[in-house]
Structure 1
C-alpha cells in the first residue's frame, strides 16, 4: 500500500466512523489545546464532562490566565495528574502576556509553553492550524508497529523514533489534523491492544502483523518495573469549635497546590497510630493523640500505590505551623467542598461531610 493509499483509506474510514466529541471539529485553538492537555493520560469518556465544565468556567484563555490557581485546580479535581492543570494555568498567562492571547501556530513556538511536549505540540498545531506535524501516542505506536511489523521494544527511544519517522512520512499534508485524529481513533476503536477488529480495518491489506497473524505479539512492550507500595497515615485534627485542619501541599511537590490532611509514610514495624502522631509532630510541630480510625483506602498513582489510614486526632499541645507545607488552615466540614483535594483525600472529605 502506497503512502497516499494509506492516507486516503484511513481518512475515508474516519469520515464515517469518528466519534462525536465536544472538541472535535472545533475551530477555536484554545479549546483544542485544553482538550489535548486533558486527554494526556485520560480516556475520552472521562475527560468529556471535565472539558465541558472547564470551558464553562474559563471560556477563553483570558479567563483562565486571570483565574486563581485554586479555582483551576478545583475544576481539575478528580482528573488526576495535577501538574497538567498547574502547567496549563502558567501557559495561559504566557499566551496572554507574550502572544496577545493567541495560541502560537508554529511547532517551535507552541512547544515553549509549559506543559506542551512533542505530542501535544504536534496535535494542537495539526488540528488547530493545519500544520503537517505527525503525532505519536500509544494508539499510533500500536497501529504503526503492527502495520510495518516492528517487533522491537516500544519502551525504547529508538523504537519510538522509528515510529515517528513512519508517521512523518505517512501524514496527509492537506488534512494533517484529520489524519492524526484518524490514526489515533483507529488505534482506540479498531486496532485495540487485544482482539483487534482486523476485518473492519481500512488499512488491513498493507498490515504486516495482520498478514503474519502477529497482532497478539505486536507491539512488544518489555515488562514494567514493579510499583512500590507505601502505607500512609494521616491525621484529622478537630478543634473545639468543630473545625478541621488541612494543609496546602508545596507548589513544586507532587500534587502541588492541592490541600490534604497532614501525614506521611509508615516506618518499618511502626504502628499506624504512631506514624500519624510522629508525622504530625514533624509536619506541624504539635503533639497529638491518634484515637480512632475514620477509614482506610487504597489508591494507585502512576509510579506507586498507597494504602492510606486516616485517624481522628486530639491536639495535646502546640500550635500547628506549616513546616512542610505552604499553609495550614482550619475549616468547617461543609467548607471542605470548596478546596481542591487529591482523589484519596477527596474520599476522606466526602465521608467527613456526611458524618454527623
Structure 2
C-alpha cells in the first residue's frame, strides 16, 4: 500500500509541480545553492511570499561564493520585508562556514548539515533529499498533515514510522517535494480538496472526515512593554542598536527602554510633569516570539545615550536596511510615509 501511494505521489508531482525558480538550475552547484537559499527563506514563510524575495536575492547574489563574501548589511537589505531576520544572519554564517570548512561545497551528510547555523532536522533532511536526491523525507507541517490524514494516525513517533515506509529508492527528491506540494495545493489545513485528490481512494480522511486530527494550540505570545524615545534634530532622528529586541537586537532602532526598568518608570513620571516630552501614542508590533507594546515618547532635548548612535534623515534611511519594526514606528510618528 505504501509503495503504491508513493508511486502515485511521484507521478502526480512530475505532471503538476509548480514552476518555481529553485527547481531550475544550471548545474549541481547552482542546484545546491538554490536549495539552500530557498530552504532558509521558506522557514515559517509561504512560497508565494518568498518567491519575489528569492528572485531578487538570487539576481544580486547568485552563488555560495558570492554570498560568503557579502556583508551582513547587504544580506539584511535584500531580506528586508521577509521577516524572521535571524534566518538572514544564519544564512550568511552558514555560507562562511561552508567556504572555510568545505571549500564552498554544500555538505552532503546529515551530521555536517545539522551542525550549521539555522539548520535543524527538517531543513537538513530537505536539503539531503532535494539537493542530493538522498533517501530522506523532511517532515514539515505539510508532510505531517498529509501523512496524518492518509493513514488516520497521530503522534510524532507513529507519523515518523509511516513517513519511513513511504521512502523510495529512486527519485527521493521528487517524493519529498511531492509530499510538500500535495499538502500546499490539495491537502490544505482547512477545506482540503478531497474530491480533486488522486489519493482519495487510499486516504482515510477522504472517506471518513469525522476522525480527529491532532490540533496544535498556538501559545499566546508574551507581551513586552517598551518606551520609544524619539529625538529629532535638523530633520534627522536619533537611532542606535538595541540589545533587548531578541531577533532584532543587532538592527538599528530608536532608543527603546523596557517599561518595567527603573529608566522606564522614570520616563513615565517625567511625561506627567515635563513639557519637554510629548506622548505620540501607543503602537503594538508583533515580533517572532513576543508582542511589543510601545509608548512613543518624543523629547525636545538630547537624551543620554551610549555610543555608537546615529542621526539619519528619511533619505539616508532609504539606502539602509531597516526592519519592519522600525518602519512601523517611523510611520507612527510621521517621520516617513
Tell me the TM-score normalised to structure 2 length.
Answer: 0.88
2:35 aligned partner: 32
After superposition, the C-alpha distances for 1:130-162 in whole angstroms (9 at most, x for unaligned) are: 111111000111111111111x4xxxxxx2233
5+ residue gaps, structure 1: 153-158, 279-286
Match of 2:249 in 1: 256
1:331 to 306, 312, 321: 312
Give CA deviations for 1:279-332 in whole Å, capped at 9, x if unaligned: xxxxxxxx9943251x643322333223333333222564x214xxxx322222
Whole-angstrom distance in 1 between the partners of 2:245 and 2:283? 26
Match of 1:207 in 2: 203
* Number of residue equivalences: 328
Q: How does 1:215-230 map to 2 (within 5 A)?
A: 217-218=212-213, 220-230=214-224
* Shift in alpha-carbon separation, 1:48–1:302, aligned structure 2, 3 A: same
**The residue matched to 2:138 in structure 1 has which SS?**
coil
**Corresponding residue for 1:156?**
none
Residues 16-95 of structure 1 correspond to what in structure 2 (within 5 A)? 16-26=15-25, 27=27, 28-95=31-98
How far, CA to CA, are the matches of 2:87 and 2:10 in structure 1?
Answer: 31
Q: Per-residue deviation at 1:231?
A: 3.6
Q: Give me the whole-angstrom Cα distance separating, in 1, the residues matched to 2:205 and 2:18.
A: 26
Question: How far apart are residue 166 of structure 1 and its match?
Answer: 1.6
Mapped contact 1:128–1:177 kept (Cα < 8 A):
yes
Cα drift, residue 117 of structure 1: 0.9
C-alpha deviation, 1:32, in angstroms: 1.0
Residue by residue, what CA displacement relative to the aligned partner does 1:235-254 show, whole Å, maximum 9, x if unpaired? Answer: 22123x33211112349942
Q: CA deviation at 1:267?
A: 4.0
In structure 2, what is the equivalent of residue 311 of structure 1? 297
Matched, 1:298 2:284: yes
> Deviations 1:189-225 (Å, cap 9, x if unpaired)?
111112111122122222222222236x32x124333
What TM-score do the two structures reach when normalised by structure 1?
0.84
Would you say 1:7 and 2:10 are equivalent positions? no
Aligned ranges 1:142-291 → 2 under 5 Å: 142-150=145-153, 152=154, 159-214=155-210, 217-218=212-213, 220-239=214-233, 241-250=234-243, 253-267=246-260, 274-275=267-268, 289-291=276-278
What is the CA distance between 1:185 and its match in structure 2?
A: 0.8
Q: Secondary structure at the match of 2:19?
A: coil
Q: 1:299 to 1:250 in 2, by over 3 A?
A: closer
